[in-house]
Structure formats: structure tokens, C-alpha cells
Amino acid sequence: MTAAFTYTPPTPLAPLHILDLLELAGSQQRAGAALSMHQTTVCSSLRLMQQQFQLVPRQGAAVCRHGHNACLHHLRLAYREHRLMAGLLRIGTDGLHQRLLDGLASVQRVPPRYRSGDHWAELVRHGLLDGAIVSSFGLERELPAGQVPCWEGLKAVPLGELELQLVASTAEARRVLLPRQAAMPLLRQAVAWRGLAAETQPAACQEEAAWLKRARDRQLALPLCSGLLGPEWLARHQLQPLAEQPAWIEQLWLLLPDTLAAHRTARHGLQLLQTRINQARIATVHALQETMPEVAGNQHENQC
């Protein structure tokens, strides 16, 4: 069996693992589901950690809402080292890019959530994540061509590009379901430039099923990468590309701590992600050739 299915957090760090998943999932209910344990167990573990490590809740904080101090930070770094010993990385991403991580034996799965680039950076810096997939649509402002986003103590390693398209239950949809403004500001800006209206998905509804239900009930379009999902997924959910399809290219980076960027486990994970992105780009072109041949032909000419 692979590392993803055999790795177990060391017993002394089990309460920290629960606390980390609680921070990353956003609620005790979602953390319990991710951990396959009852919500009351998550709650009792949180109280134990707060008592024993003198953690004070931080109301309104973007990260470490349940408390943070130097002792907890060192404990998280120790847990990171233990994961690396097992050849494992804890990488976070959002629902749009979760398919890049699905099934990777060297990645410890965490609940996907839409966050800004700055938010991802704080989670990596505090040791809650070993890495994060950051989209150019999650940045505050557009970067000049070739420039890489920069956060102190972290390195953004280019992963490649993906093309996003809008799909809906009807090809004439004119409203788009999007994450909240703070999570992907440039994606919302791109939608506005196209003359499309945006509707915000509640932050509490991060699961794929919740997005699909709201989009179907309200006849909203969804942004996605068809190369990651495949035509079978679109057919199963009865989704089709919008009649007037925008061409949205996003740049992706793997955000890592400076001290981890050269580690063999990180390099291996980087190679796997770059391969998946290249495969998704090829699959997207093939899908467009079948459904929208004129658009695909124009894009091929532009790439050449």
C-alpha cells in the first residue's frame, strides 16, 4: 500500500492533527467528516489543546483562529518533519483544483477551500500546510508577464497554466457562481469584464455537491477546467459550455517554505503536479475540438 493510505500521525501528535484539520476545514462538523470522527471528539480535542498549550481563541483571525503561540508553531514544524520522513506532503487547494491532488499517494488530503493567495501563504508559514496550490485569480492584482508572486519566507514554484471555461445547465446562462470576493478577486474581475453577473457561493458551502446544486437550482454558470474533470463528468451532471465562451488562462504556483523547496519529497510532488497540469491542458484542447472547434482552432494558433 502507498504512503497516503498507510501513514498515521504519531500518537503524541494526534490532538494536533485534529486541531490542524479543524483550522483547515473551517468548522467542527466538516473537520469531523474529514477525520471520520464524531463532532464531539473534535470539540474535546480542541479544548484539550487550548488548555495544555494555553491557546487563546483569536476572533476574526484568518488563520489560527483557535489560538497560536511559539510552542504550537514548533510542534507543527515537528509534525511536518514526521510527514516528510514518510515521504508525505500536506498540500491545500480549492475545489476548482482539487482534482490535481486526488489520488496522489504522496499528498495528505485536507478539505478543499477557496482562499486568497495571502491566506494560503499564512497557512503555509504557520505550518498548517506544507504547500498550497495558488492561482493567479487568487491574487490581489495581476502580475506582469513572467513575474512570480512573493511572500516572505516562502517560494512560489511555477506549475504551469490551465484554461478555465464556464459551463451551465443552459448555454445561455448570464450569471456566474463564484467564491467570495476576498478568495478570488481577479476571477470576479474577469467575470465583470465579460459583462456577466456574479453570484457568491456561501463560504460555508465548499463541497462540490453544494456548488452543483446551487448552480442547477438558479441556472448559474460555473468556472472549471474541463481537462481536469473530463467529458464524462460534464455529461453526468448535464452541464454544457456557455454559448459565448471566454478564454481565461490562469497561472498556477506551488507555494512552499523556503526550507522545503529543495526537499526530495517536495520536488517529487512538484513533478507530479506539473505532469497533471500538462495532461489537463491537452485534454482541454481535445474537449474544445469536439464541442467548440472554432475556439479550439484559434487557441492552437495563439499557442503556436
pLDDT band at 290 (very low <50, low <70, confident <90, very high): low
- Kindly give the pairing relationship between strand 154-168 and strand 248-257: antiparallel
Residue 207 has pLDDT above 50, yes or no: yes
CATH 1.10.10 boundaries in the chain: 1-67
The pLDDT value given to residue 145: 84
For cell 471528539, the residue is 41
The Cα–Cα gap between 39 and 130 comes to 25
The Cα–Cα gap between 127 and 84 comes to 13
Give residue-wise pLDDT tens across range 226-240. Answer: 899 988 999 999 999
Work out the angle between the directed axes of helices 39-52 and 28-35 (0-180°, nearest 10).
Answer: 110
Taking residues 115-143, report their average pLDDT: 96
Give residue-wise pLDDT tens across range 133-142. Answer: 999 999 999 9
For cell 500546510, the residue is 129
Closest CA to 67 of 78, 53, 81, 80: 53
The pLDDT value given to residue 274: 95
How would CATH label the architecture of 162-248+284-303? Answer: 3-Layer(aba) Sandwich (3.40)
Residue 288 has pLDDT above 80, yes or no: no
Which phi-psi region, left, alpha or beta, contains residue 207 (left: φ > 0; alpha: ψ -120 to 50)?
Answer: beta
Residue 293 has pLDDT above 80, yes or no: no
Task: Classify domain 1-67 by CATH number.
Answer: 1.10.10
Give residue-wise pLDDT tens across range 101-114. Answer: 999 999 998 999 99
The Cα–Cα gap between 85 and 82 comes to 5
Report the 10 Å Cβ neighbour count for 119: 18
Query: In sequence order, which residues have a C-beta less than 8 Å from that of residue 206 and are 6 or more positions away?
Result: 26, 30, 95, 111, 112, 113, 114
pLDDT band at 62 (very low <50, low <70, confident <90, very high): confident
The Cα–Cα gap between 210 and 201 comes to 9
The pLDDT value given to residue 231: 86
131, three cell numbers: 504547500
CATH 3.40.190 boundaries in the chain: 162-248+284-303
- pTM equals 0.90
The pLDDT value given to residue 155: 97
Residue 220 has pLDDT above 50, yes or no: yes
